C-alpha cells in the first residue's frame, strides 16, 4: 500500500471542518476546545481489488477526529471519516469523505492493459438515524475527486448489543449504488483498453453496485484502547458483475476477514 495517502490525510480532513456554533458564539477559533484523535490499523485478508478472485494480506490505517463530549453511539469500520454538525442523539448528519487508493496493474496482474484509477478522494455527506436504542441506519453520498468522476451512495443497517461493559457485537446488511462514471472508471473497458488487455469493450451504466452483510465483535480493552474482529461479505451486482473484468477474470463474491486495534488521544487546543 502506498504511503502517499497517509501523507495526504491531514489535507483530506480539512474537508470535514465546518465552523461550530459554539466556537462562533464564544469568538474562538474553530479548533479551540477539547478533541479526541483515534489512531490505529486493521490487518485483513481480502480481495486484491473489488472484483478480484485473489486474496491478499493487507493493512489499512484507521484515523478519526472528533470533539470530546460528542461521543458517537455506534461506529463501524466501514464508516467514512466524517464530521457531524447536527446531532440530536437520534439523528446525526454532516460531512463525510474517504481516501481512494491507486489501482493499477501493480495491484493485480489481471488489471494489465487497463487504465489506472488514480489516488484521490471521495467527498460528500452522511446521515444517521437510530430508530431504536440498538439499531443504526447510516447513508453516505460521495463524489469522486481526481480518482474518478462518479457518485457513490452507501447504505448500512447495523444492529448492536453490549454483551458486557467491554464487549459489543454488531452486524447487518449493506447496499451500495454508483453512477455510470464510477463504473466506467473501475469496470469499463474502452477500445484502447480492450486492445491492450484482451478483454471485450464494455460501457457500463449506473445502478446497484453491491449488496452484502457485515459483522464485528469489539472489545474495549481500556478507556482508550479498542480491538475488533470483523468480517464482511459483498456480492457485486449489475454493471460491476457484468463487467468482463469480473465475469472473466474475477469474482462477484467478495469476502474480507480481519482484526483492528485503535488508541484514542485526548488533547486541548486554545
| Neighbour order of strands in the sheet with 207-220 | 55-67, 33-47, 253-269, 225-236, 207-220, 167-178, 151-164, 135-145, 120-132, 91-100, 82-87
Task: Identify the pLDDT of residue 245.
Answer: 97
* Across 30-43, average pLDDT: 77
Residue 211 has pLDDT above 50, yes or no: yes
- Rounded Cα distance between 47 and 32, Å, is 42
- The pTM (predicted TM-score) of the whole model is 0.82
pLDDT above 70 covers what percent of the chain? 85
69 compared with 25, residue with greater pLDDT: 69
pLDDT at 29: 62
Q: For residue 31, what pLDDT is reported?
A: 64
- Greater confidence, 157 or 32? 157
pLDDT digits (tens, 9 = 90+) for 58-115: 888 777 766 665 556 788 888 888 877 787 889 989 899 988 999 999 989 999 999 9
C-alpha cell at 125: 455527506
pLDDT at 4: 44
Bigger pLDDT: 137 or 75? Answer: 137
Mean predicted confidence (pLDDT) in 195-217: 97
pLDDT grade, residue 7 (50/70/90)?
A: very low
| 168 bridge partner residues | 162, 218
Band the pLDDT of 125: cuts 50, 70, 90.
very high
Residue 122: predicted pLDDT: 97
pLDDT value, residue 269: 77
Whether residue 192 is predicted with pLDDT greater than 80 in this model: the reply is yes
Task: Return mean pLDDT, the chain.
Answer: 86
Span 262-268, mean pLDDT?
85
Tell me which residue of 73, 107, 68, 114 sits closest to 92, measured CA to CA. 73
Confidence of residue 174 (pLDDT cuts 50, 70, 90): very high
Domains of the chain as residue ranges with CATH: 4-16+39-269 (2.40.160.40)
| Cα distances (Å, whole numbers) of residue 72 to 82, 87, 92, 165, 212 | 11, 9, 9, 16, 24
Tell me the mean pLDDT in the region 164-173: 96
Amino acid at each position: 500500500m502506498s504511503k502517499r495517502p497517509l501523507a495526504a490525510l491531514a489535507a483530506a480532513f480539512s474537508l470535514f471542518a465546518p465552523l461550530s456554533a459554539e466556537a462562533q458564539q464564544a469568538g474562538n477559533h474553530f479548533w479551540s476546545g477539547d478533541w479526541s484523535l483515534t489512531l490505529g490499523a486493521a490487518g485483513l485478508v481480502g480481495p486484491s481489488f473489488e472484483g478480484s478472485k485473489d486474496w491478499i494480506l493487507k493493512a489499512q490505517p484507521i484515523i478519526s477526529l472528533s470533539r470530546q463530549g460528542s461521543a458517537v453511539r455506534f461506529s463501524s469500520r466501514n464508516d467514512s471519516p466524517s464530521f457531524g454538525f447536527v446531532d440530536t442523539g437520534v439523528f446525526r448528519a454532516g460531512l463525510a469523505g474517504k481516501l481512494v487508493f491507486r489501482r493499477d496493474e501493480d495491484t493485480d496482474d489481471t488489471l494489465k492493459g487497463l487504465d489506472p484509477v488514480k489516488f484521490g478522494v471521495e467527498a460528500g455527506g452522511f446521515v444517521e438515524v437510530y430508530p431504536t436504542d440498538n439499531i443504526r441506519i447510516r447513508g453516505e453520498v460521495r463524489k469522486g475527486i481526481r480518482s474518478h468522476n462518479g457518485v457513490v451512495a452507501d447504505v448500512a443497517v447495523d444492529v448492536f448489543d453490549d454483551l458486557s461493559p467491554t464487549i459489543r457485537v454488531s452486524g447487518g446488511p449493506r447496499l451500495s449504488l454508483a453512477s455510470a462514471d464510477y463504473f466506467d472508471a473501475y469496470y469499463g473497458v474502452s477500445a484502447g483498453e480492450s486492445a491492450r488487455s484482451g478483454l471485450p469493450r464494455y460501457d457500463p451504466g449506473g445502478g446497484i453496485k453491491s449488496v452484502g452483510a457485515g459483522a464485528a465483535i469489539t472489545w474495549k480493552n481500556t478507556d482508550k484502547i479498542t480491538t475488533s474482529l470483523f468480517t464482511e461479505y459483498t456480492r457485486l451486482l449489475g454493471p460491476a458483475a457484468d463487467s468482463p473484468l469480473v465475469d472473466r477474470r474475477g469474482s462477484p463474491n467478495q469476502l474480507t476477514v480481519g482484526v483492528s486495534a485503535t488508541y484514542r488521544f485526548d488533547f486541548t487546543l486554545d
